[in-house]
């Protein structure tokens, strides 16, 4: 192997690109911040929080993000930790998340599922889990807030299996919980990690011969010692075995108990995670599988476009996941969809709020490209004689719908142009009514997308829109040669998408199921055919 190839293999091997998935308030911001601190990004202390508290006057992220103090679109954070380069893809934890959140997950090679141990698996975690699970990527679980009175650890494991359908393997086990929580027993390294004297700032690690080591009794006390013996014996006998193959396929999730705010269990989590999580994985394309360790030419795809909400700066940032080859600043690559070469001169890498100009980057890295309006979500960029087109990104079924119209009828032209361009970006779906007047209906997965739409229509197209929320919750693309629109009258409505496909909107699951029963010959698809 030549020197360049070896260098490339090393760069790929040391990278870990993952997303943290959780329900709001589980502690994602806190965990992310601790991870950044371990990565030596000390200067960033408080940065993640800062974003939440919207203290960033200099930030030119979306205006709404600042006003509401949430992260509207996902950003990327990078740091080094003992021979690894870590890329964390931030997914908005707010319930106003959007399709962007889902798409960002396609750029990750693994996911960390963060759960509030008092609450268990919550709604948003479940949705995000399902997207990861469909891709079959490894999922690691961090059970957070063990310093609080939480649920029984066995209960939590049971819930992972019942609600998410994934088996789990506890990598460590809590000793007591809430006020009694004194530490964890690390099942992999046979060691105790302890809060010293209940002082939650100090963590002490003690090597032991096993969980029945006398030192464990000495430290935990008789009651907790007995409890721990019972629980760990039960796990040894009845629990799943650790199986890296299954972890890699997303069939078994390694579970870590800890407390992010006290920095407890975070470092061991990080170290185990880096060891077990996969390096940047191949992606499918028109040229077959593009494996970063063997395919030398540069390639990547855009999974997200972040608009600048400041009307004075129309520029946008397109987020590109590098799939193969080395990226160098100023290099020319082919924008495959438009068939032209473009020069990547001002790429940015994201370290929390700071934007650094990137000189070089490797597979698994995410770079932000300045976008004067030439990119779309899903665009592929590649070098070399053969164009590479990566598989289309998945689309997701909208769950919220609004009728959209304009306040000032004279602006019809700008209105249609705006709707057309913004839906083209793939951030929102548009439907036409099939009976009566031709009216437009927007479909999204998160409420915030409506607000962003309203904001951008005004800022970028000078159009004030009116949104009228509709009661539908489900959309299904209906494939049926003999479709009878009359069958969609009760608690449902038949509309068409941009490509004239029929889509049925339903108010509830019951309405959807009864339509399916009435039309056994029809196919009901969750996304466009």
**Which residues of this protein are in contact with ligand GDP, per CB under 6 A?**
22, 24-30, 93, 144-145, 147-148, 259-262
CB 278 to ligand GDP: min, Å: 25
Whether 293 has a binding-site annotation, put simply, is no
CB 336 to ligand GDP: min, Å: 37
DSSP H helical ranges for 198-292: 214-238, 244-248, 266-276
Q: Cα(29)–Cα(38) distance, rounded to whole angstroms?
A: 14
Residue entry with tokens 């021979």: 83
CB 25 to ligand GDP: min, Å: 4
Nearer to ligand GDP, 48 or 333 (CB): 48
Whether 339 has a binding-site annotation, put simply, is no
Task: List 333's β-bridge partners, or say none.
Answer: 342
Cα 120 to chain center, whole Å? 19
Whether 186 has a binding-site annotation, put simply, is no
Whether 335 has a binding-site annotation, put simply, is no
Nearer to ligand GDP, 182 or 307 (CB): 182
> At 101, phi and psi to the nearest 5?
-60, -45
Maximum Cα–Cα distance across the chain: 82
In this structure, what token pair is assigned to residue 24? Answer: 């709001």
The answer to whether 432 and 480 have CB atoms below 8 angstroms apart is no
CB 92 to ligand GDP: min, Å: 9
The answer to whether 305 and 375 have CB atoms below 8 angstroms apart is yes
Nearer to ligand GDP, 25 or 152 (CB): 25
Whether 468 has a binding-site annotation, put simply, is no
Nearer to ligand GDP, 56 or 248 (CB): 56
CB 264 to ligand GDP: min, Å: 7
The answer to whether 479 and 522 have CB atoms below 8 angstroms apart is yes
Q: Cα(153)–Cα(156) distance, rounded to whole angstroms?
A: 5
The alpha-carbon radius of gyration of the chain (Å, integer) is: 25
Whether 23 has a binding-site annotation, put simply, is yes
DSSP H helical ranges for 373-492: 412-424, 447-461
CB 200 to ligand GDP: min, Å: 9
Whether 28 has a binding-site annotation, put simply, is yes
Nearer to ligand GDP, 38 or 375 (CB): 38
Nearer to ligand GDP, 195 or 524 (CB): 195
Binding-site annotation: residue ranges: 22-29, 90-94, 144-147
Binding-site annotation: residue ranges for GTP: 22-29, 90-94, 144-147
């Amino acid at each position: 192997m030549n020197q360049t190839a070896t260098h490339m293999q090393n760069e790929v091997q040391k990278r870990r690109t993952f997303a943290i998935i959780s329900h709001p308030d589980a502690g994602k911001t806190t965990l992310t911040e601790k991870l950044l601190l371990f990565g030596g990004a000390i200067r960033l202390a408080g940065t993640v929080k800062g974003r939440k508290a919207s203290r960033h006057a200099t930030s030119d992220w979306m205006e709404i993000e600042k006003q509401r103090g949430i992260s509207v679109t996902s950003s990327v954070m990078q740091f080094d930790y003992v021979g690894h380069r870590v890329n964390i893809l931030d997914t908005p934890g707010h319930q106003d998340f959007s399709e962007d959140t889902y798409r960002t997950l396609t750029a990750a090679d693994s996911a960390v599922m963060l759960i509030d141990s008092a609450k268990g698996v919550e709604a948003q975690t479940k949705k995000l889990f399902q997207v990861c699970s469909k891709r079959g990527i490894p999922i690691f679980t961090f059970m957070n807030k063990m310093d609080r009175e939480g649920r029984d650890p066995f209960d939590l494991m049971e819930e992972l299996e019942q609600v998410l359908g994934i088996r789990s393997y506890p990598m460590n086990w809590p000793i007591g919980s809430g006020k009694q929580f004194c530490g964890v027993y690390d099942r992999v390294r046979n060691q105790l990690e302890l809060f010293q004297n209940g002082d939650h700032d100090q963590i002490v690690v003690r090597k032991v011969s096993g969980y029945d080591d006398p030192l464990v009794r000495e430290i935990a006390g008789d009651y907790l010692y007995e409890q721990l013996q019972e629980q760990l014996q039960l796990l040894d006998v009845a629990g799943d075995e650790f199986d890296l193959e299954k972890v890699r396929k997303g069939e078994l999730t390694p579970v870590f108990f800890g407390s992010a705010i006290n920095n407890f269990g975070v470092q061991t989590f990080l170290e185990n995670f880096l060891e077990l999580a996969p390096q940047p994985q191949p992606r499918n394309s028109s040229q077959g599988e593009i494996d970063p360790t063997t395919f030398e030419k540069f390639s990547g795809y855009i999974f997200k476009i972040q608009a600048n909400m400041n009307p004075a700066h129309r520029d946008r940032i397109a987020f590109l996941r590098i799939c193969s080859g080395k990226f160098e600043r100023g290099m020319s690559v082919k924008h495959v969809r438009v068939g032209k070469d473009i020069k990547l001169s001002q790429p940015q890498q994201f370290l929390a709020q700071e934007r650094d100009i990137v000189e070089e980057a490797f597979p698994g890295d995410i770079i932000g490209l300045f976008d004067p309006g030439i990119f779309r979500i899903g665009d592929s960029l590649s070098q070399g004689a053969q164009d590479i087109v990566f598989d289309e990104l998945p689309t997701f079924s909208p769950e919220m719908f609004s009728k959209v119209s304009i306040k000032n009828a004279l602006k019809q032209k700008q209105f249609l142009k705006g709707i057309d361009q913004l839906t083209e970006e793939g951030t929102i779906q548009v439907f036409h009514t099939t009976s009566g007047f031709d009216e437009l209906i927007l479909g999204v997965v998160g409420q915030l997308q409506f607000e962003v739409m309203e904001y951008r229509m005004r800022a970028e197209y000078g159009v004030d829109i009116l949104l009228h929320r509709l009661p539908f919750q489900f959309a299904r693309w209906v494939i049926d040669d003999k479709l009878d629109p009359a069958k969609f009258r009760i608690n449902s409505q038949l509309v068409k998408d941009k490509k004239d496909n029929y889509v049925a909107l339903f108010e509830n699951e019951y309405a959807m199921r009864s339509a399916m029963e009435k039309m056994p010959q029809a196919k009901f698809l969750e996304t466009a055919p």
